[in-house]
Structure 1
């Protein structure tokens, strides 16, 4: 997704990576906990847990942290009863936004998300108010150091992926949501752990933004992503290279 990847690139260039990594660790630990509780605490028998562990490895999370989270979930520790919730709404210039969260207090999270939308010129909508503008799909990435394009493409198509593209320093493999775990496992067996492997919301079309609205929207997304309960934010915006460069300066 153009907007999502552009936001990540801009925030990466802005720095403050240590604080962001600590926040990322916390969110992944929460996903590991929910994944382990929603199925067996054995990654071999729980595809969602395997995906969470892969995400943890991708950001170099220590193995002890991963193991502790799984054991804690398997032990049924109190205080970790998270619910999966989704919020949808509009940002500046009518940009559609989807927010995925894991929360132990739905009222608190809903109130915080609504306040963020209101502060930055957006409005929180009802469930499915913008989801129809997106498609749910699996997205798997590998760095180009893993193999050449032909090898990745052949393996992906054999695994019933839909498409393979080269983006910057990575190959991006996309597939239908229902094929995600099968495609990911087939590629893992051949090329080891991917750089990332997630189910994402991809927009059917995007909204081009001027610099002022882009700045406001990116601040909204930043505030949402910094919230402890928020796992993912997706939006259907696009920026010109010139505006993206200015915002990341």
Structure 2
């Protein structure tokens, strides 16, 4: 996703990743618990759990926290029950967003997401008001250091991926949701656990952002959303122009 990956790279350059580690761990733990409850505790027979564990390991979630999350998810009546919710919204200028959440309090999360968009001049939409602008995909991402661009490209496409794009920070692989598990398992066997390994959304068309103030406002919106423990993923149909990217990096 052009906008999402651009934003992520900017965040890398600003060294924001470490400051968000605790929240990232919380999100990873929630996904493991929910994956177990949606299937079973054995990752060999639960593809979603296998992906969740892979992402947790790649992001250095301690093994004891992974094991405890699996145990918590498989214990009846133990801990919170998280509900999967998808929000669809618009930011100023018609930029569309899909926000996926795992929450133990639907009212709280809806209020927080709605307030975040409203404060930035946007609005929460009805279900179906945005998702037709996106297509469902499998998303896998590795740091650039694990492989050369050519090796990752060849391996991904041979495994059944639709595309593989690389830059100085990462390799981003897209595939059909039906082939996601197979592609992920092939890549994991060769390159280890992926930093990102999940079903996601890809915008069919992008709105180019060529104004620095508008770009900064969008970044603040996304940052606020991702700061919530309940929000798992944020996808938008924006794309920063090269000129705006240079100003943001500066």
The TM-score, its normalising length taken from structure 1, stands at 0.92
Structure 2 CA distance for aligned equivalents of residues 12 and 192 of structure 1: 21
Which range moved further: 131-140 or 10-19? 10-19
Contact 1:165/1:173 (<8 A) preserved = yes
Task: Give matches, 1:89-104, under 5 Å.
Answer: 89-104=89-104
Q: Which residue of 2 aligns with 1:230?
A: 231
Q: Which residue of 2 aligns with 1:241?
A: 242
Which range moved further: 168-177 or 53-62? 168-177
Dislocated runs of 4+, deviation >6 Å: none
Shift of 1:131: 0.6
What is the aligned residue count?
Answer: 249
Shift of 1:72: 1.2
CA deviations on 1:9-62 (whole Å, 9 max, x unpaired) are 222333344330111000000001100111111111111011111111111111
Structure 1 CA distance for aligned equivalents of residues 2 and 208 of structure 2: 10
Shift of 1:199: 1.6
* 2:32 is equivalent to residue 32 of structure 1: yes
Change (3 A) 1:153 1:14: closer
Contact 1:93/1:213 (<8 A) preserved = no
Task: Give matches, 1:1-249, under 5 Å.
Answer: 1-209=1-209, 210-249=211-250
Gaps of 5+ in 1: none
Which range moved further: 148-157 or 52-61? 148-157
Shift of 1:87: 0.3
SS in 2 for 1:184: helix
Which range moved further: 75-84 or 91-100? 75-84
Shift of 1:125: 0.3
Shift of 1:223: 0.8
